[in-house]
A and B are shown apart, each in its own frame.
Chain A
């Protein structure tokens, strides 16, 4: 039964294990270079490996495309992912849930912190325009959105969260050079921990294309959202968390 879960890459026949790979080696194109490419593919577990394309690129570099078979099996049953652990709500349902549990509008403060000027992510979630056919949080009648935009400092963010009495703080990070997204997020969560007593702290949510969704605990935030997250998912998560903590409190 268990073996049913084990799979291999599929080229055109079940179990053929075929994969494709491209890379560049810092070596002039030659027969030796092609042999080196095969050697790399072999070491990566491709056997047999076939160099289908080799082309000089710049001085002293060669680009390769390699096709080959891998013998590895993968077992999806042992894969760990963060599955959505909250119900997905429509804007209407989210609005109703906020009315029911908070009896006031829910306040969300968002922005890009640090030097990150890429507002694409935060705007996709917050702007009424939205993303992937879903309207952004500004569209939700029961959510008040304060979008601070780009290059917001952590103290500014904390200040705005206090001033607006934010229920949730959304931070988007696109730039990942030198792990800026991780450093900034840790700085942000530490600042909120310092500025608020634990029970009063707003919900901290970060998102960006290069985040690992399993890192929430390590980064000190309540949730990490990766690439392709829609506004509806973010709204549903916030509503779910806040409504539940409200119920716990009462």
Chain B
């Protein structure tokens, strides 16, 4: 793999890390990841198929709010199964004159007046060509949006410095979110993330239209994406710097949400390879298949992914579990590169979550963050603030956030999620955000270049700890690679079933969304995958 052969930018390690260890870790990640990629290639899911229909331009929903892509994909599946993909049966029906366009066909299919078949011979060839043409139009639109982003960054200017300041809005109402996001951008945010409604990850459809109600967040919909991007374009021009927009490609509809993000020019997407399995109990195979497709879309769209390693530390001890973060980063990197993402698109996650009562907690945090920086020198890295040890003591929390910012400055983080002293108390107030940004600015202004002077002692506490965590991570990868507890399955699936990650046992034959997975038949065809894999 190109990933393992790539030379490190810095010739020598500040942490005294042996290059052969780094190579070993990446080789193991590849060995553990490859069988999962093979597995993903052998399967498709309802959401991958629906994403393909979305690329071909099918949107909207029936009067009950069920998207037409769901209605059409369900109708096809009822007639001929999912294992051939929906593209051939759908475009075969269009060529047979069952509908003038996809929407009409979906409406007729929903009414039960279309019978689908898997075309053969010349019919199959014609359906293949027609579907490829339709889906190519959607991918073209994604390409256009990528170009539009590049042009706009060139014209209005980029974020003035690194790390990019990442702020969250979450009101549940897109029309409330918009002024809040614009205000946050004016206050200094380089990246706006619109938190999703907590229920969305388990919905097997993407809601339609502009939404005004959500729980602890706003639904990810195409229209909400469009409205927010348009508002931030306006603010970007006003401020003279491009303000990036983030959402979540996770849960049961990951491929569709990734597609909508590409079509509506979102700039970053939360997209972790195992988060849905471990924390949402989504079926492992469903997740890996959906992951791969969504990452191929992100690669094409020039979207930066943010992985979710911070989550491991919110449930497990941040010292004991430090190596699981490194392991997950290595796996996320492998899966991302395999799907076509480049280093600059890998916002690998990590977090400042060690109990502040632990002696040397700051040195440990610094060691972990420096390790991530050294292992992934060209990735932006996403640095997540303390949450677990933020109590109602906002004064102490403000200090903790300052130390978090200092680690961020010392380790050249690409994306810094701004910590709020009122974490665990209220959703941030206008004053909380302002104070939090003052904290970031003070630290960056006072110590932003400290990394030029700072070198950990070669055999000191920090360097030793970093090497220890890398060693434990290699051991864990070895252990996963050797896992044969479920015969015939990729070792990583066995390891996930055992509870290797975060103590949560997730067998490959359980979990939500399993019924939406199908083993591909010999004649399976998906024009989106063909285009995404073919013409890079």
Question: Which residues of chain A have a CB within 8 Å of any CB of chain B?
Answer: 22-24, 55, 57-59, 61, 63, 114-120, 123, 127-129, 149-151, 175, 177-178, 180, 209, 227
Report 5 cross-chain contacts, Cβ distance below 8 Å, ordered by A residue: A24-B430, A58-B183, A59-B186, A128-B503, A149-B281
The answer to whether residues A209 and B424 also contact, given A151-B199, A175-B216 and a CB cut-off of 8 A, is yes
Quick check: A127 and B503 within 8 Å, CB to CB? Answer: yes
Determine the chain A residues whose CB is within 8 A of the CB of B315 once the complex forms: 119-120, 123, 127, 129
Question: Residue on B with the closest CB to A175?
Answer: B216
Please report which residues of chain B, range 428-483, place their CB below 8 angstroms from some CB of chain A when the two chains form the complex: 429-431, 434-435
- Chain B residues at the A interface, C-beta cutoff of 8 Å: 172, 183, 186-187, 197-199, 201-202, 215-216, 279-281, 314-317, 388, 392, 424, 427, 429-431, 434-435, 503
Partner of A177, one of B183, B201, B215, B430: B215
Do B430 and A58 touch (CB < 8 A)? yes
- Cross-chain contact B198 with A116 (CB below 8 angstroms): yes
In contact, A175 and B198 (Cβ under 8 angstroms): yes
Residue of B216, B281, B424 with most chain A CB atoms under a 10 A cut-off: B216
Could you tell me if A24 and B431 are in contact, using CB atoms closer than 8 angstroms?
A: yes
A129 and B316: CB pair below 8 A? yes
Are the CB atoms of B198 and A63 closer together than 8 Å?
A: no
Nearest CB of A to B146, in Å: 32
CB A213 to nearest CB in B, in angstroms, measures 16
- The answer to whether A63 touches B280, judged by C-beta atoms less than 8 angstroms apart, is no
B434 near A58 (CB under 8 angstroms)?
A: yes
Nearest-Cβ distance from residue B95 to partner chain A, whole angstroms? 42
Q: List chain B residues, Cβ under 8 A from A123.
A: 315
Question: Which of A58, A120, A127, A177 makes the CB contact (< 8 A) with B216?
Answer: A177
Contact of B216 with A63 in the complex, beta carbons under 8 Å: no
Q: Within the complex, what minimum Cβ distance (angstroms) separates A34 from chain B?
A: 16
Task: Name which residue of chain A comes closest to B504, CB basis.
Answer: A149
B198 touches A24 (CB 8 A): no
> Quick one: which of A22, A59, A177 contacts B172, CB cutoff 8 A?
A177
Given contacts A177-B172, A209-B424, contact A115 B199 (CB under 8 A): yes
B430–A115 touching, CB < 8 Å:
no
> Is the beta-carbon distance between B503 and A24 smaller than 8 angstroms?
no
- A61 lies within 8 A of B430 (CB): yes
CB neighbours of B198 from chain A (8 A): 115-118, 151, 175
- Closest chain-A Cβ to B513's Cβ sits at a distance in Å of 13
| A150 contacts B314, C-beta separation under 8 Å | no
In whole angstroms, what is the CA distance A128 to B431 when docked? 39
Bound-complex Cα distance A115 to B214 (A): 10
Question: Chain B contacts of A180 at CB under 8 A?
Answer: 215
Chain B residue numbers with a CB within 8 Å of A114 are 199, 215
- Tell me whether A117 and B281 are in contact in the complex, defined as CB-CB below 8 angstroms, given that A129-B503, A209-B424 are known contacts: no
Whether A150 lies near B280 (C-beta < 8 A) is: yes
Instruction: Tell whether A151 pairs with B202 under 8 Å between CB atoms, given A58-B187, A129-B316, A209-B424.
Output: yes
> Is B215 a contact partner of A24 (Cβ separation < 8 A)?
no
Contacts of B435 in A (CB 8 A): 63
Shortest distance between the CB of A27 and any CB in chain B (Å): 13
Q: Please, which residues of chain B bring their CB within 8 A of the CB of A129?
A: 315-317, 503
A58 in contact with B215 given A24-B430, A127-B503 (CB within 8 Å): no
Find out whether the CB atom of B431 lies under 8 angstroms from the CB atom of A57.
Answer: yes
The CA-CA distance from A227 to B317 in the complex, in Å, is: 20
Which residues does chain B contribute within 8 Å of A118, judged by CB atoms? 198
A150 to B197, CA, bound (A): 14
The 3 closest A-B pairs by CB, nearest first: A115-B199, A57-B434, A117-B198
Q: Whose C-beta in chain B lies nearest to the C-beta of A227?
A: B392
Answer whether A63 and B215 are a contact pair too, CB < 8 Å, given A117-B280, A151-B199.
Answer: no
* Least Cβ–Cβ distance between B487 and chain A, in angstroms: 27
How many Å lie between the Cα of A22 and that of B202 in the bound state? Answer: 40
Expressed in whole angstroms, the minimum distance between the Cβ of A148 and any Cβ of chain B is 9
Q: Which residues of B contact A61 (CB under 8 A)?
A: 430
CB atoms of B215 and A175 under 8 A apart:
yes
Are the CB atoms of B430 and A57 closer together than 8 Å? Answer: yes
* Given A116-B215, A128-B503, 8 further pairs, Cβ under 8 A: A57-B430, A58-B187, A117-B199, A117-B279, A119-B279, A120-B315, A129-B315, A175-B215
Q: A115-B199, A117-B198, A151-B202 are in contact. Are A22 and B431 (CB under 8 A)?
A: yes
Least CB separation from B200: chain A residue: A115
Q: How far is the CA of A23 from the CA of B280 in the complex (A)?
A: 38
B230 to chain A, nearest CB (A): 21
Instruction: Give the chain A neighbours of B429 by CB distance below 8 A.
Output: 24
**Shortest distance between the CB of A125 and any CB in chain B (Å):** 13
The answer on a CB contact under 8 Å between A115 and B503 is no
Residue in B closest to A127 when the chains form the complex, CB atoms: B503
The smallest beta-carbon distance between B207 and chain A, in angstroms, is 13
Which A residues lie within 8 Å of B187 (CB)? 57-58
Closest chain A residue, CB of each to CB of B316 = A129
Q: A55 to B438, alpha carbons, bound, how many Å?
A: 12
Interchain nearest-CB distance for B202 vs A (Å): 6
Among B280, B317, B431, B434, residue most surrounded by chain A Cβ atoms (within 10 Å)? B431
**CB–CB B314/A58 < 8 A:** no
Set of chain A residues within 8 Å of B201, measured between Cβ atoms: 117
Residues of chain A within 8 A (CB-CB) of B215 are 114-116, 175, 177-178, 180
Q: A117-B201, A129-B316, A175-B215 are in contact. Are A58 and B280 (CB under 8 A)?
A: no
Residue of B nearest to A57 (CB): B434
Q: How far apart sit A58 and B197, CA to CA, in the bound complex (Å)? A: 27
User: What residue in chain B is nearest A138 (Cβ atoms)?
Assistant: B503
The CA-CA distance from A117 to B314 in the complex, in Å, is: 13
A residues in contact with B216, CB < 8 Å: 115, 175, 177
Complex-state Cα separation, A57 to B427, whole angstroms: 17
A58:B186 contact, CB within 8 angstroms: yes
B199: chain A residues at CB < 8 Å are 114-115, 117, 151
- List, in ascending order, chain B residues with CB within 8 A of A117's CB: 198-199, 201, 279-280
Closest to B392 in A: A227
Minimal beta-carbon separation of B403 from chain A (angstroms):
22
Nearest CB in chain B: distance from A138 CB, A:
10
* Docked pose: A117 CA to B199 CA in angstroms: 7
A124 to B279, CA, bound (A): 15
Q: List the A residue with the shortest CB-CB distance to B281.
A: A149
Expressed in whole angstroms, the Cα–Cα distance for A209 and B317 within the complex equals 21
Which residue of chain B has its CB nearest to the CB of A117? Answer: B198
Quote the shortest CB–CB distance from A244 to chain B (angstroms). Answer: 33
**How many whole Å from B400's CB to the nearest CB in chain A?**
18
